[in-house]
């Protein structure tokens, strides 16, 4: 397993509980007609040793208990899926989906929806553990990949600098270029590198979220939102989120005029994690990106923000916060799912984790269909939580959906297709 911040104590705790890789069910392809919100959800289940990928529709019905898994035949394209697999943060609308095998593999895998077969694979490691975090298709022959790690010893092969947005041709598949992000940290000490975490296409404008850590993760500087020009593959603008660090969650408002950025802060290693640097930023993107409002973590509760963030309705955000363990490794505080009205700052706790922290995960919403989802690695053996949401952003109590029951790997991440 890897984390978007690999130094966290909770990664070590979870890894210590991992056993041998499990056998996952036989794969099953699907053919789905898109509705007003697309086709459905991609659910990644993992025990951090092996992974399974399921598909749900927006009503919570299982479309495929296993589209791909760690036992899926790679058809000569390489090794099987590891236990550290995620989906792109943006919806995928083609006849195949991309899976990001992050660390240490650094591999993109393309799975055909109808046949559930791996039809392509591309290493984006280029000689080092690049830890890809996101994949953004632009057209059939071009896509961007956010590579989180920077290579400490570059220059040994092509495209091996890292800390960049890699340009790939998914139709071949092949690497065809790279966008250097170092200019976004102009004026910062050289120990800080970009650490791009998220990519987002808003009406043809591409935005990247840079977490901006030191190479050894001992410190961070203010995270950045940068705009990229997909025509010239160049950096257009940089917006520093002063005082917000460790930012790794990015969402666009229903009217496409605003970005929301969630930041976990400086350091989650301690038994009592600090809230320093943690919070939420709202960015006006009607013109050049402009910071319009900031919520510090202290204004939203007593815990740092997690990695799930989505708009549930205009002016209403659905997000998570992180619990923690005490110095002896026992649960000391639970995760929470929150509803935030951005105009008033009013916060409501929708749900807390059942027992242990770091079990409530991804947050996704389909505003046009009036639903939001989150992953819960504990309830009912591991469930996707489905919330019905009204037009004003009011949440009903969640229902629990089991995407795969034969093996029961806990759900961790959500995507859309």
Q: Evaluate whether 365 touches 311 at the Cβ level (below 8 Å).
A: yes
Residue 194 lies in a domain: yes
pLDDT score at 5: 45
Q: How are strands ordered across the β-sheet holding 41-46?
A: 62-69, 51-56, 41-46, 411-416
pLDDT score at 407: 86
Percent of the chain whose predicted confidence (pLDDT) is above 70: 91
Q: For residue 385, report the phi and psi dihedrals to the nearest 5 degrees.
A: -90, 125
The alpha carbon torsion through 57, 90, 407, 359 (nearest 10 deg) reads: -110
pLDDT score at 25: 61
pLDDT score at 74: 60
Specify the DSSP element, H or E, that contains 352. strand 347-352
- Indicate which CATH number applies to the domain containing 27: 2.130.10.10
Residue 117 lies in a domain: yes
pLDDT over threshold 60, residue 22:
no
Residue 395 lies in a domain: yes
Bridge partner list, 162:
150
pLDDT over threshold 90, residue 120:
yes
Sequence-distant (≥ 6) Cβ neighbours of residue 194 within 8 angstroms: 150, 163, 164, 181, 182, 184, 185, 210, 211, 212, 224
Structure tokens at 281: 């930023």
pLDDT over threshold 80, residue 23:
no
Exposure of 135 in the CB half-sphere (CA atoms within 13 A): 31
Residue 114 lies in a domain: yes
Q: For residue 400, report the phi and psi dihedrals to the nearest 5 degrees.
A: -100, 130
Comparing 330 with 78, the larger pLDDT belongs to 330
Residue 2 lies in a domain: no
DSSP secondary structure of 58-89: TTS-EEEEEEEETTS--TTS-SPP-S-EE--S
Beta-strand relationship, 399-401 and 383-388: antiparallel
Q: For the chain, state the CA radius of gyration.
A: 20
Of 119, 52, 116, 117, which Cα lies nearest the Cα of 83?
52
pLDDT score at 75: 55
Q: What is the pLDDT of residues 290-342, one digit of tens each?
A: 999 999 999 999 999 999 999 999 999 999 999 999 888 899 999 999 999 99
Residue 308 lies in a domain: yes
DSSP secondary structure of 258-308: EEEEEE--S---SSS---TT-EEEEEE-SSS-EEEEEEEHHHH-SS-EEEE
**pTM, two decimal places:** 0.93
Of 411, 413, 384, 408, which Cα lies nearest the Cα of 398?
384
Name the domain count of the chain: 1
For the chain, first and last CA: distance in Å? 24
**Can you tell me the mean pLDDT for 64-80?**
78
pLDDT score at 71: 81
Residue 171's domain comprises 9-416
Q: What is the pLDDT of residues 168-224, one digit of tens each?
A: 999 999 999 999 999 999 999 999 999 999 999 999 999 999 999 998 888 999 999
Residue 47 lies in a domain: yes
Residue 1 lies in a domain: no
Q: Evaluate whether 100 touches 199 at the Cβ level (below 8 Å).
A: no
Q: What is the pLDDT of residues 228-262, one digit of tens each?
A: 999 999 999 999 999 999 999 999 999 999 999 99
């Amino acid at each position: 397993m890897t984390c978007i911040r690999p130094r966290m104590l909770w990664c070590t705790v979870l890894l210590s509980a991992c056993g041998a890789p499990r056998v996952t069910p036989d794969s099953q392809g699907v053919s789905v007609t898109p509705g007003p919100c697309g086709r459905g959800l991609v659910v990644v289940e993992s025990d951090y040793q092996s992974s399974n990928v399921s598909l749900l529709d927006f009503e919570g019905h299982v479309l495929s208990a296993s589209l791909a898994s760690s036992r899926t035949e790679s058809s000569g394209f390489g090794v099987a899926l590891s236990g550290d697999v995620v989906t792109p943060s943006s919806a995928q609308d083609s006849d195949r989906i991309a899976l990001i095998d992050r660390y240490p593999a650094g591999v993109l895998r393309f799975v055909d929806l109808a046949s559930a077969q791996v039809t392509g694979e591309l290493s984006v490691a280029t000689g080092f553990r690049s830890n890809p975090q996101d994949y953004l298709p632009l057209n059939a022959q071009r896509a961007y990949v956010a590579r989180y790690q920077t290579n400490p010893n570059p220059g040994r092969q092509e495209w091996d600098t890292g800390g960049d947005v890699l340009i790939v041709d998914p139709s071949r598949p092949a690497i065809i270029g790279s966008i250097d992000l170092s200019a976004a940290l102009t004026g910062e000490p050289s120990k800080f590198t970009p650490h791009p975490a998220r990519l987002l296409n808003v009406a043809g404008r591409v935005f990247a979220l840079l977490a901006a850590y030191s190479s050894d993760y001992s410190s961070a500087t203010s995270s950045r939102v940068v705009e990229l020009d997909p025509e010239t593959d160049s950096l257009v603008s940089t917006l520093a989120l002063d005082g917000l660090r460790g930012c790794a969650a990015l969402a666009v408002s229903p009217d496409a005029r605003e970005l929301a950025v969630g930041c976990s802060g400086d350091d989650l290693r301690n038994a009592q994690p600090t809230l320093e640097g943690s919070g939420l930023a709202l960015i006006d993107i009607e013109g050049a990106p402009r910071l319009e409002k900031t919520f510090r973590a202290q204004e939203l509760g007593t815990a740092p923000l997690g990695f799930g963030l989505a708009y549930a309705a205009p002016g209403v955000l659905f997000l998570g916060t992180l619990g923690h363990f005490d110095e002896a490794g026992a649960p000391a505080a639970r995760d929470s799912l929150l509803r935030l009205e951005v105009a008033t700052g009013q916060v409501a706790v929708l749900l807390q984790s059942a027992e242990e922290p770091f079990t409530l995960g991804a947050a996704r919403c389909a505003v046009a269909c009036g639903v939001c989802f989150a992953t819960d690695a504990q309830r009912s053996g591991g469930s996707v939580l489905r919330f019905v949401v009204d037009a004003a952003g009011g949440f009903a109590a969640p229902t629990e959906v089991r995407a795969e029951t034969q093996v029961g790997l806990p759900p961790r991440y959500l995507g859309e297709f």
